[in-house]
Structure 1
Amino acid sequence: MSPSAILAMEARPESELPRDKGWQFEPKWDGFRCLAIRDGDAVELLGRSGKSLARYFPDMVASLRALKPKRFMLDGELAIPVGKVLSFDALQLRLHPAASRVNRLAAETPSILIVFDLLQTPRGTDLAARPLSERRTALEAFFAALNDAPSLRLSPATEKRAEAERWLKRAGGGELDGVIAKRLDDPYRPGERAMVKIKCLRTADCVVGGFRYAANSRQVGSLLLGLFNDQGKLDHVGFTSGISDEQRPALTRKVEALKGGRGFTGDAPGGPSRWSTERSAKWEPLKLELVAEVRYDHVTGDRFRHGTRFVRWRPDKRPDQCTLEQLQQEARPSHLFVPQKGRIVRTRVAL
């Protein structure tokens, strides 16, 4: 398989774990998808888009170059452990144009590669056309032959649906992003959505602290969500934007009637980031009267990782009852963490 032509195999979302036989379940780790390729002294890290991540993770490049095998192609997840959880924020900090800053971060918070597939062996054998069951056996043999690889972890796998259900219940708070299901008899399918991903969806009651107008419009585009912190200040925690054209006029009237309030009194929207634009920094503060129940899939640093889905209004709940504790309870470390160095684990996740 040509490294320049390969794209990572993708996953399609489903609402529940498959119930029929013939599946392998794996944790869906909270990191950057990565194809790690070595050919002699040449090492490449390819992201999901096919673009190189090597310049942002010089520590991982050095670690892979130091391994005894001189040739291999691994599929895995780049991650950065901070304490007992994986930090997505630490990963994002690596995507910086200054090499000096990247090198400093690499020394301060080294990355690991959690590996779940082997596509080319140290002998140069292409395994992509082989079934997953054979590739997993080869992957475990690859790890068993490593003498010392502190930056590599073998991702656990199980064929037991009950075990995968336990992983899923603990997902969404700092290490796992859900569960991946793969057919045991499937080959590797570059760029295809041939896997299944399942996430654990939860709900939270949030204060609507502000809103943004849609682009080139005077109708609401997104609602800005907040939760009260321990100091009684309203922190911005995310947004919800799944608003239909039919709902938009009435929602616009609803929120415009509350314009002029204090809005967020703690962490506010529109702070500087590499994704900020002039438009994204503009928002309208509201009087704190609206409480919305929203559905979400992942929490990172007391914020919703992705946009949320609006469920319903909660006129029965006071805004001051909407606290960060809703998210912090789920972001606390559990016993489900990063797999041990070089350990072959099939049904348990261990630190």
Structure 2
Amino acid sequence: MIEPMLATLVKEKLQLEGKWVIEPKYDGERIIAQRNKDKIDLWTRRHVNAAYKFPEIVEALRRNINSDNWILDGELTVEGGFRQLLKRNVEDKFKIGILSWKMPATYNLFDILHLDGEDLTNKTLLERKGILLKAVYFKEGIDIVPFQEAGDSNWKNRFKEYLDEGFEGVVLKKAHSTYEAGKRSDKWLKVKKQDTVDVYVVGATRSTGSIPFGALILKKDGKFLGKVGTGFSDRDREIILHILKKNQAPLDIELPPEVESELLISTRPLLAEIRVQEMINGSPRAPVWVRFRWD
């Protein structure tokens, strides 16, 4: 798979110079879709091929692109956001079929990287978007991420409008930038609600009751940040523990003794998002779990 190009998180005080494109930021999972003849793959950032879990998307892509050789970039969503999308994370074929009907996904496209054997990554963003619009019929669960030109005079107004419409924030992209696969680039910038913080999950603590774990252990800037133990449903906890077990690894930070004594499982750092009332001396006040970030 091609590694996706990643956006750099910046503050709302950002000032733009030059020509940019603004897009809404979706609450879903980043997916690189790839077709080679009859085979269609849906790759997550964790290098997991999720095509078998989303048969409705695979068939829509097969029917609505007049080519059998392409690579696309976009965000997979279901109604209700990422927490609802987690419910599609099942292995049973019968359940997959039922969920694809009851909780259909949408693949929201914003980029095209290859088409008919041609590498498009060295073309500008606006050129690639033009090719994308011509190559894809946007129907049956395939949608285009809306975009418009932006500059320092208007992007903040559009940012507020997107928040009012229920989006997480915006992504700002230099209009003439190339696609830098696998790089977190300053040519793509993301601006989010100010009450959320990006952190890394590095493990979980034991539960004192019947729930799968007590709290998630967090780090930021290479140091222990604290724990988050609210914002999960029981089903969320089961799914999260399953993800932690798949990513089990030795701790790479030092924990306070009282937290280390509660340790249930440790993992490689997994990017996540929490909601806080405020940050006090670098520590989150009243943290609430939001989601893992795979973007």
Shift of 1:9: 0.5
TM-score normalised over the length of structure 2: 0.66
Corresponding residue of 1:176: 167
Larger radius of gyration: 1
Corresponding residue of 1:292: none
What does 1:294-333 align with in structure 2 at a 5 Å threshold? 306-308=274-276, 310-311=278-279
- Which amino acid in structure 2 is aligned with residue 14 of structure 1? V
Instruction: From 199, 209, 218, give the equivalent of 2:192.
Output: 199
Deviation string, structure 1 residues 198-237 (Cα, Å, up to 9, x no partner) = 112138xxxxxxxxxx969xxxxxxx9xxxxxxxxxxxxx
Corresponding residue of 1:293: none
Structure 1 Cα separation of the partners of residues 133 and 111 of structure 2: 9
Corresponding residue of 2:72: 74
Instruction: From 153, 170, 184, give the equivalent of 2:143.
Output: 153
Determine if the alignment matches structure 1 residue 108 to structure 2 residue 102. Answer: yes
Structure 1 Cα separation of the partners of residues 66 and 194 of structure 2: 41
Determine if the alignment matches structure 1 residue 95 to structure 2 residue 89. Answer: yes
Shift of 1:310: 4.0
Structure 1 Cα separation of the partners of residues 219 and 183 of structure 2: 27
Structure 1 Cα separation of the partners of residues 114 and 236 of structure 2: 44
Equivalent residues, number: 238
Structure 1 Cα separation of the partners of residues 108 and 82 of structure 2: 14
Structure 2 Cα separation of the partners of residues 22 and 45 of structure 1: 32
Q: CA RMSD in A?
A: 4.2
Secondary structure at 1:273 match in 2: helix
Deviation string, structure 1 residues 59-107 (Cα, Å, up to 9, x no partner) = 1111111224123211111111x3xxx4222210111222221221111
- Which amino acid in structure 2 is aligned with residue 41 of structure 1? D
Corresponding residue of 1:130: 123
Q: Is the 8 A contact 1:30 1:79 kept in 2?
A: yes
Structure 1 Cα separation of the partners of residues 155 and 173 of structure 2: 12
Q: Is the 8 A contact 2:66 2:135 kept in 1?
A: no
Shift of 1:193: 0.6
Structure 1 Cα separation of the partners of residues 192 and 237 of structure 2: 30
Corresponding residue of 1:141: 134
Shift of 1:125: 2.0
- Which amino acid in structure 2 is aligned with residue 9 of structure 1? M
Q: Is the 8 A contact 1:47 1:53 kept in 2?
A: yes
Identify if the C-alpha distance between structure 1 residues 45 and 125 changes in structure 2 by more than 3 Å, giving closer, same or farther: same
Shift of 1:306: 2.1
Identify if the C-alpha distance between structure 1 residues 169 and 272 changes in structure 2 by more than 3 Å, giving closer, same or farther: same
Identify if the C-alpha distance between structure 1 residues 173 and 63 changes in structure 2 by more than 3 Å, giving closer, same or farther: same
Structure 2 Cα separation of the partners of residues 13 and 65 of structure 1: 34
Corresponding residue of 1:8: 4
Determine if the alignment matches structure 1 residue 33 to structure 2 residue 30. Answer: yes
Structure 2 Cα separation of the partners of residues 61 and 149 of structure 1: 13
Structure 2 Cα separation of the partners of residues 269 and 134 of structure 1: 46
Identify if the C-alpha distance between structure 1 residues 243 and 151 changes in structure 2 by more than 3 Å, giving closer, same or farther: closer
Deviation string, structure 1 residues 149-178 (Cα, Å, up to 9, x no partner) = 221111111222455323422556884221
Shift of 1:28: 1.3
Structure 2 Cα separation of the partners of residues 174 and 241 of structure 1: 30
Q: Is the 8 A contact 2:205 2:216 kept in 1?
A: no
Secondary structure at 2:240 match in 1: coil
Q: Give the share of equivalent positions with the same residue, in percent.
A: 24
Q: Is the 8 A contact 2:195 2:278 kept in 1?
A: no
Q: Is the 8 A contact 1:29 1:175 kept in 2?
A: no
Structure 2 Cα separation of the partners of residues 27 and 171 of structure 1: 6
Secondary structure at 1:275 match in 2: helix
Gaps of 5+ in 1: 204-213, 217-223, 225-237, 252-263, 283-303, 314-321, 323-351
Structure 2 Cα separation of the partners of residues 105 and 23 of structure 1: 38
Corresponding residue of 1:273: 238
Greater fraction strand: 2
Gaps of 5+ in 2: 197-203, 207-213, 246-258, 263-271, 287-295
